[in-house]
Structure 1
Amino acid sequence: MNTHKKSDILSYILIVIGAIMASFSVALILLPNDAIDYGTAGVAIIISKQTGLPLAPCVFGVFIPFIIAGYIVLGRSFTIKATMGSIAYTLGIRFFEGIPFELNTEHFLAVAFGGAILGAGLSLILRYGGCIDGSEILANIVVKRLSDKTGRNYSMTPVLLAFNALVYVTVFITIDATAALLSLLVYVVATAVIDHFTDHFEAIKQVTIITQEPDKIIVDIKNKLNKTCTIMDSRGAIAGENSTLICYISYFELPIMKDIISEHTGSFSTVSTIDEILR
């Protein structure tokens, strides 16, 4: 078994572990303490509470359209990981709902602890190329469409904030103010943990590639990501003349970029987070 396949298997395992951690937090800590998850999982929880339908089917049902959209925009590899994570999360919700468990502490502490576990689980999923939240896929699609039309790069943060604001307003109206405030605390804690381990996944990523064969990489980036590059001549102390390519992409496009780079041996690349691009 080659190194690439071992890496893929490890990523699938860690995505499943992350999904189980997230489902444990939601089913056994957050929901019993009157808080809900955010994103599309939050939408599914609201639907379940308002209709009386089982939560697990609601979660998977809400996420299915986003999986399909992710396949169209982000490709097969992402879709496989997203589907695997979603199934593990759904089965985890179903399993943990049947376990008698009570965290005997104040709601505030329980929700903060649950949000940290949720954030840790989602960090694993995001770090290894998966996703169990359709709002992130939606934000990526919106940003990609805007970038394709305007030629500019945008952060996913405004879309994510707007989506989750709608979720919390809905919780406030349909459930109560306490649930909305506790759920907002979950979002703050979970996103703080995610940002720590994924280096602001919602921000723009700058990929710098140093290579002696830039043309093929540029063609692949254009065909697979519909992105262009800035090209600069550079010189290495040992390697000599080469080219430096700079490309701006979203976090969810990173796995595709990594595949492109891995197909072209002899290149060196780095990834950094860009908070803002001025024009």
Structure 2
Amino acid sequence: MKNLTPRQLLIFIGRILMTILGAFITAYGLESVLIPNQVSDGGITGVSIVGSNLFDIKLGYLIAVLNIPFIWLGYKQIGAKFAILSIVGILSLAFFTSIMHHIPAIIEGDSLLVTIVGGVIIGTGMGIALRNGGALDGIDMFAVLLSRKLPFGTSDFILFLNIFVFILVSTVFGFEGAMLSAIAYFIASKVIHLIEEGLSGSKTFTIITTKPKSIIEEIKDELGRTCTYNEIHGGYTDIAFTQITCVINRLEEQKLKEIITTKDPHAFIAVYDVSDVKKGSFIKQDLQK
């Protein structure tokens, strides 16, 4: 942190502000949609909601206190910047849930609408925080630590830990409330993923072909994109091929598939999601001069 340049410091401050915005949106989703309708969130926030109902303790206090050990885990496993942003986010979430506790619900009674709207709102808030380098809930940090110690993936542990959270939720909101909470959490997780990837997103195409020049030229002419390529050999046939790699946005995906199919119907294609792209050869050239 001490070695940050003025520009890096400005970027970091911007991330802090965006993390606070994410906490504000999440708190609004909790207090105006989910909690008034007896629906909870997952993770430490879900445990805090249960504790608040059982022991009549302010939700903000529990969110702040229960996340302390997980912030320490985040600091040890990921770094100081992540820990600082997470502290800001979690304290902001605790503060905003406290001041919004008595705001009127914007939706009441419609279980399906509550889970969808609530999930979208809290997913948007948490996604904004995560995209800017922080976290609003400590269960993800705990899952990362467990996945490094045991032979299971992070997502497996997040799902496993949240099963116990929703069982705990059922003791306060009943079985229906627990099921609605699980649905809202699922929707929120999908929104978080969408925000982390971006609305447009990007794709990496790996193309293995015997006709590289015509494909590369067509990509340049039709999409304004450049590619990289290298010579490879088939492991079974030992035939020489060219492997082309090209990064595009999602809107160009179908067009690129058409180009490949037209130029080489027998080409092998593998497509991968890309969460972020920074400059370099990804800069698109104008098609119309």
Match of 2:165 in 1: 167
**2:103 aligned partner, one-letter code:** I
Match of 2:184 in 1: 186
Relative to 1, partners in 2 of residues 1:197 and 1:159: Cα closer, same or farther, differing over 3 Å? same
Aligned residues: 199
**Would the aligned equivalents of 2:23 and 2:89 in 1 still touch at CA under 8 Å?**
yes
Matches within 5 A, 1:1-279: 2-104=6-108, 106-146=110-150, 155-199=153-197, 272=274
Segment of structure 1 superposing worse, 15-24 or 172-181: 172-181
Q: TM-score, normalised by structure 2?
A: 0.64
CA displacement, residues 228-268 of structure 1 (integer Å, 9 cap, x when unaligned): xxxxxx99xxxxxxxxxxxxxxxxxxxxxxxxxxxxxxxxx
1 CA distance for matches of 2:83 and 2:156? 24
**1:118 aligned partner, one-letter code:** I
2 CA distance for matches of 1:72 and 1:28? 35
CA displacement, residues 118-172 of structure 1 (integer Å, 9 cap, x when unaligned): 001111011111001111010111123348xxxxxx6311000001111112222
1 CA distance for matches of 2:173 and 2:68? 25
Match of 1:277 in 2: none
**2:179 aligned partner, one-letter code:** L
**Would the aligned equivalents of 1:15 and 1:81 in 2 still touch at CA under 8 Å?**
yes
2 CA distance for matches of 1:175 and 1:106? 16
Match of 2:222 in 1: none
2 CA distance for matches of 1:192 and 1:97? 26
**Would the aligned equivalents of 1:33 and 1:111 in 2 still touch at CA under 8 Å?**
no
2 CA distance for matches of 1:183 and 1:129? 26
**2:164 aligned partner, one-letter code:** L
2 CA distance for matches of 1:195 and 1:183? 18
**1:186 aligned partner, one-letter code:** A
Segment of structure 1 superposing worse, 67-76 or 178-187: 67-76
**1:35 aligned partner, one-letter code:** V
Match of 1:247 in 2: none
Q: How big is the shift at 1:104?
A: 4.4
Structure 2 unmatched runs, 5+: 199-228, 231-272, 276-289
Relative to 1, partners in 2 of residues 1:168 and 1:139: Cα closer, same or farther, differing over 3 Å? same
- Matched residue of 1:176: which SS? helix
**Would the aligned equivalents of 2:31 and 2:103 in 1 still touch at CA under 8 Å?**
no
Match of 1:248 in 2: none
**1:129 aligned partner, one-letter code:** G
Q: How big is the shift at 1:102?
A: 4.1
Q: How big is the shift at 1:103?
A: 2.3
Q: How big is the shift at 1:9?
A: 1.3
1 CA distance for matches of 2:126 and 2:76? 23
Q: TM-score, normalised by structure 1?
A: 0.66
- Could you say which structure has the larger radius of gyration? 2
2 CA distance for matches of 1:100 and 1:113? 15
Q: How big is the shift at 1:182?
A: 1.0
**Would the aligned equivalents of 1:71 and 1:78 in 2 still touch at CA under 8 Å?**
yes
2 CA distance for matches of 1:104 and 1:166? 27
Match of 1:230 in 2: none
**1:92 aligned partner, one-letter code:** F
**1:133 aligned partner, one-letter code:** D
**Would the aligned equivalents of 1:40 and 1:133 in 2 still touch at CA under 8 Å?**
yes
1 CA distance for matches of 2:64 and 2:41? 14
